[in-house]
Structure 1
Amino acid sequence: MDRRPPPETPPDAPAAALSTGAVARRLGVSPTTMRSWERRYAIGPERREDGRHRRWTPQDIARLELMCRLTARGVPTAEAARIARAQDLDARAVARPGTGVPRGNDTLPLGTVRPECRGLARAAVRLDAPTVRELLDTALAEHGLVTAWEEVIAPTLHAMGRKWASAGERYVEVEHLLSWQVSSALHRVRPAPGATDAPPVLLACVPGEQHTLPIEALAAALGEQALPVRMFGAALPAEALHDAVRRTGPRAVVLWAQSRTTADRALARSVAGIEWGLRGARGRSALLLAGPGWTGRAPTANIERLYGLRSGLDVIAALAGTVPVPV
């Protein structure tokens, strides 16, 4: 294998070094844990700036990455640190996919993603709930809800789903822990104050559908836009859905279907035809279908499909006659 540096990198150029916080987000380890490992197991960086600030080189990160993989497989922390220190790791292993120590079968198939995704996935595989929570809150604070969802949270969830599907009954506990922490993080997003008498947006999963995280993200994002929301969550029965539309007179109804087996096109047509309000002044809600279960064209011309969180927000904001807040 050719191990020469890329052409644009001068052979003698010093490798970039990262701060402890940046490495923590990348690997899914809290800064406190990293400092504890450095004190107990001498698994810290080889250089510091001004004798105080830790700066992690690619070789330092590769060594720490190996330790994280070993602990995720159940190797005791002290033994994992000993093995990591003894490895002669390529300084470019972190920067160049496919080089360095093999990742093994306990990592998630993430592909090309933000470093935060890998850190979040590693913490989830270790069932390290406090670190998962910290990483989620950091991503939401630094990137905003929409970018954090589209570029950090959703790719990690999708990778977890692929891993679970290919590993039988393994990793179910990892998926449950990650899903719970994501849901909790979304519920911690505080909505902006808005008009309390404005028609709401009604969000619900179709009957039989238990996957709620995408519409929980939409609910949190609409709250940030100061748009009132009525969230009904998983598997809302058809009769209850009809009653909720008539009682609330929503601006729009968003129906989520994760799979084609739950996407009921007859139900969509019936919801689109519901009228509400006083006789002589009746109105109808816009019906928006969201989720991969709704394949093909919409059931009728007055029903619209939503594709992704960011574009979905734009569609709903247009229906509400508001200008979406930049996210």
Structure 2
Amino acid sequence: MLGVPAVTIRSWEARYDIAPPTRSPGRHRRYSSEDIARLRRMQRLIAAGTPAADAARLSAMAPDQSDPPPELPAAEQVAALLADLESFRIDEAGAKLDGCLRQRGLQPAWEDVVAPALRRLQDRFQDSADCIDLETLLADEAARAVDRYTGGRLLGETADSPVLLACCPGERHWLPLKVLQGVLLERGTPAVLLAPDLPLDAVLRAARRASPRAVVLWSLTPRPAQAILRRRLIARGEQTVAAGPGWSPKVGPLTHLDDAVHLLSRL
């Protein structure tokens, strides 16, 4: 109903005393329409950058008194998101990501907030190598937020062949592909995302079963098997699209989300 994980709501209840006053005989929480409205107000406030403790206090006020401030500029959203991760306020980081996706949409949220936050952490890692945990946390939380955002946009029944999105063998960084899938689904283009780091033969079998309009092979860093996989797909007549900085410029890989969406939605 709210698009907020139950563990996050329980955390808010424990920390900020916002649990509903009534429970069923089986001790299940009973939320009134006002309880739900308050949680929605708190959710909007956190998404706009309000600290969770302040959002809990403000959400108890009348709706017109707790309206969230204007959407924060992207740079401030990046800073607030990274501050939550630095302090391991994971539930608040997830709520900020959810709000960012709702307010901006998937592609702008990725380009303006999530990708810049990841680049900040990558730059920091180059300098001090002390933030791999934060980069992993951000990638995991962003992936979960994308799943929540695209949950209502399932592939469904369609006569159209899907785009098949696959990481190259050995590649585990699949967040860009998850974002690409979400944007394609938003725009009505069916897309199927395979799990990361599948063996070469598994990707080939999936392509045979799916009969895709195109196979996108994502690579963040060069891998020995990726060129072999690409050649075998092309030899079978599959429309094969290389994507990511792990490919040689000679194959003309897609390196920008907008270019990938433009190409794949028109195949």
Could you tell me the TM-score, scaled by structure 2's length?
A: 0.71
Q: Percent identity?
A: 28
Answer whether contact 2:165 2:181 (CA < 8 A) is retained.
yes
1:291 is aligned to 244
**Deviation of the 1:114 alpha carbon:** 2.6
1:90-132 deviations in Å (ceiling 9; x for gaps): xxxxxxxxxxxxxxxxxxxxxx963211111111111111111
Say whether residues 1:210 and 2:172 are aligned partners.
yes
Superposition map of 1:1-327 within 5 A: 29-30=50-51, 32-34=52-54, 114-168=75-129, 170-188=130-148, 189=150, 190-191=152-153, 195-261=157-223, 264-274=226-236, 284-298=237-251, 305-319=253-267
**CA distance in structure 2 between the aligned counterparts of 1:220 and 1:53, rounded to whole angstroms:** 32
More helix by percentage = 2
SS at match of 2:249: coil
Residue type at the aligned position of 2:77: E
SS at match of 1:191: coil
Residue type at the aligned position of 2:140: W
Answer whether contact 2:46 2:92 (CA < 8 A) is retained.
no
**CA distance in structure 1 between the aligned counterparts of 2:46 and 2:171, rounded to whole angstroms:** 36
Residue type at the aligned position of 2:132: V
**CA distance in structure 2 between the aligned counterparts of 1:205 and 1:312, rounded to whole angstroms:** 15
Q: Tell me the C-alpha RMSD between the 2 structures.
A: 3.0
Query: How has the CA–CA distance of structure 1 residues 262 and 217 changed in structure 2, closer, same or farther, with 3 Å as cutoff?
Result: farther
**CA distance in structure 2 between the aligned counterparts of 1:194 and 1:55, rounded to whole angstroms:** 35
**CA distance in structure 1 between the aligned counterparts of 2:194 and 2:66, rounded to whole angstroms:** 49
Residue type at the aligned position of 1:163: R
Query: How has the CA–CA distance of structure 1 residues 194 and 232 changed in structure 2, closer, same or farther, with 3 Å as cutoff?
Result: closer
Query: How has the CA–CA distance of structure 1 residues 289 and 55 changed in structure 2, closer, same or farther, with 3 Å as cutoff?
Result: closer
Answer whether contact 2:47 2:97 (CA < 8 A) is retained.
no
Query: How has the CA–CA distance of structure 1 residues 139 and 260 changed in structure 2, closer, same or farther, with 3 Å as cutoff?
Result: same
SS at match of 2:247: coil
**Deviation of the 1:176 alpha carbon:** 2.2
Question: Which is greater in Rg?
Answer: 1
Query: How has the CA–CA distance of structure 1 residues 54 and 311 changed in structure 2, closer, same or farther, with 3 Å as cutoff?
Result: closer
1:66 is aligned to none
Query: How has the CA–CA distance of structure 1 residues 233 and 53 changed in structure 2, closer, same or farther, with 3 Å as cutoff?
Result: closer
Query: How has the CA–CA distance of structure 1 residues 273 and 22 changed in structure 2, closer, same or farther, with 3 Å as cutoff?
Result: same
Answer whether contact 2:220 2:244 (CA < 8 A) is retained.
yes
**Deviation of the 1:316 alpha carbon:** 0.4
**CA distance in structure 2 between the aligned counterparts of 1:313 and 1:228, rounded to whole angstroms:** 12
**CA distance in structure 2 between the aligned counterparts of 1:33 and 1:23, rounded to whole angstroms:** 10
**Deviation of the 1:162 alpha carbon:** 2.4
Answer whether contact 2:84 2:93 (CA < 8 A) is retained.
yes
SS at match of 1:233: coil
**CA distance in structure 2 between the aligned counterparts of 1:295 and 1:287, rounded to whole angstroms:** 15
**CA distance in structure 2 between the aligned counterparts of 1:35 and 1:245, rounded to whole angstroms:** 47
Residue type at the aligned position of 2:161: P
**Deviation of the 1:171 alpha carbon:** 2.3
**Deviation of the 1:313 alpha carbon:** 0.6
Question: Which consecutive unaligned segments of at least 5 residues does structure 1 have?
Answer: 1-19, 39-51, 57-111, 275-283, 299-303, 320-327
**CA distance in structure 2 between the aligned counterparts of 1:202 and 1:55, rounded to whole angstroms:** 40
Question: Which consecutive unaligned segments of at least 5 residues does structure 2 have?
Answer: 1-41, 59-64
Answer whether contact 1:211 1:234 (CA < 8 A) is retained.
yes
Query: How has the CA–CA distance of structure 1 residues 126 and 314 changed in structure 2, closer, same or farther, with 3 Å as cutoff?
Result: same
**Deviation of the 1:37 alpha carbon:** 9.4
SS at match of 1:34: helix
**Deviation of the 1:265 alpha carbon:** 2.2
Query: How has the CA–CA distance of structure 1 residues 55 and 251 changed in structure 2, closer, same or farther, with 3 Å as cutoff?
Result: closer
1:74 is aligned to none
**Deviation of the 1:235 alpha carbon:** 1.2
**Deviation of the 1:195 alpha carbon:** 4.7
